[in-house]
Amino acid sequence: MHIAIIGAGISGLLSALELLEQGCSVSIFDQQSAGKAASWAGGGILSPMYPWRYPQAVNDLAKHGKTLYQSWNTKLLPISGTDFEIHETGMLIFDRDDFDIGLHYAEKHNEPMQYCEHLKQQQLQQINPRVSAQLQEAIYFPQIANVRNPRLLKSIITYLKLHPKVQFHENIWIDRFQIQSERINAIQASNGQRFEAEQFVIATGAWSEHWSQQLNLSIPVEPVQGQMLLFKGPENWLPTMCMNDVMYLIPRKDGHIVCGSSMSHLGFDKRPSIQTQQNIYKASLAMAPELANFPVVKQWAGLRPSSPSGIPYIGQMPNLDNLWANFGHYRNGLCMGPASAQLLRQLMLQQPTLTDPAVYAPALQLLPQAVSA
């Protein structure tokens, strides 16, 4: 089976991996270089930041992220030569209002990876001596890891480009489906090029609303900008991830520390705001004051694909036999990505599914003009 995947972010790339494992051939299309949008820009925490604040459907996919990435890394590393750098640092959360629900979450939802303990100041300083003395207690999740998403993407893209059953088409804008008798025959690029396949997957992230008009469907996905800072400290300087008031610090093995993140509804504008960057800087120092001694080596913004509840759309698109969705992951695309791709593959190939797919089905509404017509 030949499958065309529109979108080469983490959702599209992992979907390609899953389908290749089943013997399919894949063509991957992206409007820019592969893996350069939201997937590259995020922090790479392999858990929703506060799992209890999200619908269960988000956690039902996210809980598989760490183990599936570990499996993919083992398979891809010998071929790609790039380690994902899955870093099991654990996570400290300082938001006191979340302590009680956080402490009971793992047992209540049978998610051992979300086990946590309540630390007072002395224990807190032992686990992470970089934490501000103003932060006197935390809940600590020892099993939460992060993945270095630029390296993750580099590894997957390298592997896919070496694979004999993959064709890559970068810097090409696919803007139309050619539809006949409730099936897509081909996709068409803005330069007029036409590409045929048997099945088609939309994995276009924040740009997915683009398809609304042609499909006569309301696709309620919009871009939400998130800004980040990157400090460079000594290797292994910050022992754990830290989170307070939705701001986070994520240590990489080489001493880089990713700090974020904001939320702004600015359309497709990716220009960082100085005020927002100052807010992130202040919030970072409030958690780890000694960060002030290290340089900020990079700052950037990415566009998250916001869906109404943060639950992604995964499954067959309405009214078309061979069009599939894997988009709308909002803030959790990286941690939901491997299980989302697995679920999509299972649905496309009519295999048993890892979770009930009904909650992710793209049961999208017809556009008003289509109804009135």
Beta bridge partners of 296: 231
- The residues spanned by each domain of the chain are 2-46+151-221+309-372, 91-143+222-306
Give the whole-angstrom CA distance, residue 5 versus residue 30.
9
**CB neighbours (10 Å) of residue 22?**
12
Q: What is the pLDDT of residue 288?
A: 98
**CB neighbours (10 Å) of residue 229?**
24
Q: What is the pLDDT of residue 368?
A: 76
Prediction pTM value: 0.95
Give the whole-angstrom CA distance, residue 199 versus residue 6.
11
What is the edge-to-edge ordering of all strands in the sheet holding 256-260? 117-119, 138-141, 91-93, 241-244, 247-251, 256-260, 222-232, 296-306
Give the whole-angstrom CA distance, residue 312 versus residue 198.
24
On whether the 2-46+151-221+309-372 domain is CATH 3.90.1150.10, my answer is no
Per-residue pLDDT of the chain (373 residues; tens, 9 = 90+): 999 999 999 999 999 999 999 999 999 999 989 988 888 888 999 999 999 999 999 999 999 999 999 999 999 999 999 999 999 999 999 999 999 999 999 999 999 999 999 999 999 999 999 999 999 999 999 999 999 999 999 999 999 999 999 999 999 999 999 999 999 999 999 999 999 999 999 999 999 999 999 999 999 999 999 999 999 999 999 999 999 999 999 999 999 999 998 999 999 998 889 999 999 999 999 999 999 999 999 999 999 999 999 999 999 999 999 999 999 999 999 999 999 999 999 999 999 999 999 999 998 888 876 443 3
Alpha carbon of 223 to those of 124, 144, 263, 327, 329: distances in Å? 37, 27, 10, 12, 11
Question: Would you say 366 and 319 are in contact if contact means Cβ atoms under 8 Å apart?
Answer: no
Q: What is the pLDDT of residue 35?
A: 85
Give the whole-angstrom CA distance, residue 91 versus residue 363.
36
Alpha carbon of 100 to those of 47, 58, 67, 287: distances in Å? 18, 21, 27, 21
For the record, the structure tokens of 156 come out as 């997957």
Pick the CATH number of 91-143+222-306 from 3.30.9.10, 3.40.50.300, 3.10.20.600, 3.90.79.10: 3.30.9.10
Q: What is the pLDDT of residue 37?
A: 83
For the record, the structure tokens of 355 come out as 């979770």
